[in-house]
Amino acid sequence: MKPVVTFTGPARFSQIGGNKVARVYALDHPLLGQTSVITSSVQKHNADGSFETLNTIYKPISEDYDDPTY
């Protein structure tokens, strides 16, 4: 079962080496904690703004959060 990571702000998608990846501000990444991360290859997008990578499911937080990246 893949871990679920919540993130704040918009996910920014880009291509790196032929793979679609995302940059998000993770709030609870199991290895990195609370920080900006670049994901592994994005496999699936969902209508609610969440997405799935090779290793993790990313879900946007639905409440106000003071994002330090802005």
Spatial CB neighbours of 44, under 8 Å, sequence gap ≥ 6: 51, 52
Distance CA 70, CA 27 (A): 15
Residue ranges of domains in the chain: 4-60
Distance CA 26, CA 33 (A): 7
Q: What pTM was computed for the model?
A: 0.86
Helical spans, DSSP H, in 1-70 = none
In this prediction, residue 62 carries a pLDDT of: 73
pLDDT, tens only, 15-58: 999 999 999 999 999 999 999 999 999 999 999 999 999 999 99
Nearest to 8 by CA among 22, 26, 32, 21: 26
Token pair for 20? 């679609």
In this prediction, residue 27 carries a pLDDT of: 96
